[in-house]
Structure 1
């Protein structure tokens, strides 16, 4: 593809590569006798890359005994860029002199610095003219860049799945580490509509390799890493999700194309809408309109997969008008192909069709379903009617056979999703809920029936009577949830002969 460089000055960039695992922690830490560093002791090395002399690594080599913080300031043609790391990598496509200053902040509050100049002899614009850069930004021919957003309505999730062969179900989700998929959970269309996450806009601009992020003033991420790794100040939490103040900002980015897939790297505290412990995003699918990014969440041993599209393509699909219908459902798990598709939400990997643990009356069938609740707060299974609503005036009873093992631990208190959760123990119970899948927060309008304190170590049959909400015409989802929600207590349960009828 022919690239036309219209304005060379726009190609200036200084892109940070974080050598350590944590991209936003303050730089160099070492425990010692708190002796302050002197100005004459400040030192650093400048090492050109074997790939290109326009890629240089700056490494802090200042000897120290106490706790210090190292901050780099690089003058890129009047644009002062600041980085807080011992080691940074700069990509400078245009020839010229680039003043560099390393400042060491001592524990006693004093600061000492050393200045130098990076001399780039020749321009090398090939560093930012690859297909990965052009798809992301539109190239130099598009000075305004491209604006990317979450694929909020899942218009392109299937495209990504078909092209890659990965289990990609939604615009965000997670699966086993290294899977590049969303086996454990994939967000439905507009599923996070109650958040401000869909306000995030990511404007990638080739000139200066700039990234401008705008949003609604709130950031989101993983409880396990947003504060400890990301350095964000958490203001609220909901299960494994946390909320924090974040107003976007002006950043830079780079793309490392030395591996099997390009790696998108962001500067400062930038992140792509949901923070999962890293600012490095593996681009495993990319066109000029759609991209799929994978984050290796090493803190929790997960892959997080996100799908983005151009802002103008993020439109809701034509409305499917779901009319109430009577469609009887039944599943006995004896066939090779399921009759009722039950999807998983944060379920354990041992959830599957298995041999009946106790094939005696009331249930002598060969196969049943083993439900594994892992140490997750809101594990469940669900059925969602694709093109109709439930006609509860005629079809309002759910029957199910359950086996509650006594070997589960029902006495230990476990971590909870928050202070509003009053029960911290695994419970011998089954809750069944009716929800509206089209509601951005389906639990807010749900109807739930709980059968608690169930008999253990024997098959029993339960009936859930929803005739009391027969006038509701918005329900199209059935949620099956053993053990009670909101706590991290694990356990196994079995069920069989599920039916939904009159």
Structure 2
């Protein structure tokens, strides 16, 4: 289970440390000198001539490698390294040396007499915490309404090239109700979990009472972060910026890490990348300040003639939504009046109990129904479809539990977040009584011409929310002015 007592010393602790010995690792080769001991690990610490909160460390031991923990969240390597300490207090420093005979470590401390507020006036610290004037700190949350707020990729990638989460993909997992507050005062970090967290299944041994969230992926667990946690911003020798929070806290989806590379940090956006040691992959998160909403750019309110006859290139870009297939270049199954064209579109409804089974296209603008409000199309319904058998697994809200002889056209505001565009949709259903022949249908939306928010057109055949399969054909789609 994940402990709540372990603390990482990132900010100063008001205790003095003497030298702490560490048992050396011994070499078994008798030709080598004796292995180093903690007493042979020595170093010097000199304040910078211009800034006493910057300390220059020098390894004075005989070794071929020196590794430092500078007590401020940074680890460095080399005989001469530098640490920055903007806050007053005592910092624990450890030096590990490596010789041909073995390795040893020693621990000492440095004392910083006063806080250097100029060092705290750092652009990245101000963006993360809100700065010195924001006493309560700045609270960040997972950017759940945007695609890519969580993702995964290989260790060689700087973007989630394997998978990027759609909006609200992890609802109910314990991820979206967590809050992360960073305060400049004392570099304080507060992780508010609201009682549960989301974690990779490989780390279930670190938590008690893990359960599977609603989406059936990875795990969630009851967990509350301890108080008095800390954070630190670290810039490495390559200029890369890292955010480190004290153990046992973490940010977002837990995958064995509490150190995160900051890929982007602005006033209203933060992008993080972190390494998963058990799976040896990289995870990603994007965060926004709590309460922040993205500005909605006004879209053009207009209309244009839309045509797709599937014989020639039209100006409609169809997208499938759960239908098994939509072939826009299919031979006309019945080239007879009223449709003798060579090519049509084949619409295949699957035998899965999907919610909708749609095809749709986005306009890229808000549709002006005062200019064009009439949608026309031709449909062919084969008699070989089963229009009578019912689906016992269809939900109670399904309009039909069988394959209905109908075509439904819907207008959506696709900007509605969280998959709720159906709550504000306008829809027209046209029944089709004839099979094995082409039928022309019209859908007149002039009755809702006062709406100025429609930017998606949806076509659905056979009704929704049941698993009865069917094959249909459409042709000569058109958006035009009402007669």
| TM category, shorter | 0.3 to 0.5
Q: TM-score, normalised by structure 2?
A: 0.47
Question: Highest Rg: 1 or 2?
Answer: 2
Q: TM-score, normalised by structure 1?
A: 0.46
